[in-house]
Structure 1
Amino acid sequence: MRQGDGYNFRGRGLLHLTFKDNYHACTRYLHNQGWLSSDIDFEAQPQLVTDSGVYALLSAVWVWNTYRINEQNLYNIAENQDIIHAQYSFTKNRNGTGGTITLNNVSQNLRLITERINGWYNNLAERQQTYTRIKNAEIFKDFE
């Protein structure tokens, strides 16, 4: 790791592409899919993921298709039959500090995806409210 890599490869894009190795892997994946021209390299020019809405979206597609939990990518987890936990409790911080938070009617799929992308359950209550609102409005029903 070189000095400045932490800042240079900070979270960018719609799902916060982070770390130099991920910028490299994302670029290669998008090249292999034919979605990114060969002269574009996010590792060499990480700010492109911030400067272009198209690149921000493409980096999110890479995260969505490649991040895995127990061999399943995030898309497959989202498509699984969801389990709603009547109550779900977790510590505020990953290291077990900050007290316990208990939420009602928590989507297991949303919880798994939130943990994988963010490293913990940051803003899970707000995410759950948004998820429920979108699900009830059937916004994506035409894409099934």
Structure 2
Amino acid sequence: MDTVDVPLCLDSTNPQALEAALKTYRGKPIVNSVNGEEHSLEKILPLVKKYGAAIIGLTMDNEGIPNSPERRVATAHKIVERAEALGIPRQDVIIDCLAMTVGADSRAGLVVIEAIRRVKAELGDSTTTSCASGDGHRRCSSVP
């Protein structure tokens, strides 16, 4: 199988599929879709550690995407703490505060901006990002 030498962002919640991709990649990939769900933390984070990847941690949990910045921030803390407990450096954890469409919820913009502000203030070294995908096209903005 051929491998690539360009940066890759791998997006799968299937541990077997993810490990197959991580085994083949020679660089430092980013694993997307790690979240606050126990399955994700228990199955995906150890693979991230094993292969030296970075992660994008989505601020959602077993109950879905929180409507409040407080719960999103709590989920961000949980992801960072679990990653660090496995030896994944904080600088390898990117938190996605999940921008939802304002057309569906007029508070969505305020919620994500407050979540980003608090994650940056409370988790300092982490990079925060937010992506919108309401029309099927993902657009991300990074807040270093």
> Is the TM value for this pair above 0.5?
no
TM-score, normalized by length of structure 2?
Answer: 0.25
TM-score, normalized by length of structure 1?
Answer: 0.25
Larger radius of gyration, structure 1 or 2? 1
Determine which structure has the larger helix proportion and give its number.
1
User: Which structure's relative contact order is higher, taking Cα pairs within 8 Å and 6+ residues apart?
Assistant: 2
Determine which structure has the larger strand proportion and give its number.
2
